[in-house]
Structure 1
């Protein structure tokens, strides 16, 4: 099987064309990116609002747990029965998979910002929008990117289900291989999905390090809040 796999990869005709590896890779990345984009449109504003105000924390926990429990393939199959085999069912299933880690990352990042920094920003006369965008959001970036990292891994690994409804992507090799009893093709699909997930995970891990304190991320002192915090601190007792 490994020899057949090496021969398949070594054949240039298997890399070109609409059914070639490169095109299937582009399709897979496209499905994943679309699902993550839609998931971010839903999760980021909701996470920012709940993290900043502290209201609806119970809702976010319940929503995240409910969406995590949804079986992606079952949800997609149900949607296919309702609206036929289009791009909407698999993307909807992938969005349901992407929202919980994105929502949890944004909420946790905002909620865990040092409250003394937020209080100092209010004391300086910043509006709530300024506090959110200039203070909380920059300091929450590591957890937000961590949530994106988790969502990306789950979506990329699960995007193979698009092939179940005759769409493209790397899952095409797995489903076609199973149908034809061609396990070399199944192995190819599995390895390509794994390699793509590992590459994206490595890139996002690097991004997480870049947004850590001291690596270019906005710090308390950068926002001009350190003086306000110092002013609000109790004076040291004198002898």
Structure 2
């Protein structure tokens, strides 16, 4: 764990997939499902679509900052359509949103989320979740893991705050909580998350290694690069 600065932080904006949820355990099967759907059941085309969107169909490795690593439903849908899906992007977006919402019921958390969030709230911190997934999926995760009373702000790509790496989700969190960007830490597993934090002027930008990013891809753009979110409490102490 390497940390460069630790300003006074009063709020944290978490990415969801790869940050709160273990990416490989949660999304590997989902990526294969969505590719087969987009290929209308053709396994050869499904593999080609996976590769076009950033996943090796044999190893399951997802390229950091690729569409599957960092894109929202609309962006992934456009990539699938351009790569040869027989469905258009509008149809694919709706199908992907439905798949992602259903997948939230099977997602694997990085750690027990409610105890961690409770400890962070006990420090007086405001907490938010900002994801390239749709808002319905985020709220499913919140209900599933008992975070309803612990999360102060939710933003998906369809919540009206713009998309990563633009700063809108962080600025929306600030507007909802009364904090300034300098009081906020942004935590994520890829450079879209880190750039969102930088673009918003966040006081602390933290990368975690439980998603598609690596220490090599995250260290340059982060103030701290952690193995996972359980190490946050150490750098906030």
TM-score, length of structure 2 as denominator length: 0.24
Name the structure where helix makes up a greater proportion of residues: 1
Indicate the structure (1 or 2) with the bigger Cα radius of gyration: 1
Name the structure where strand makes up a greater proportion of residues: 2
Higher relative contact order (CA 8 A, sep 6+): 2
TM-score, length of structure 1 as denominator length: 0.24
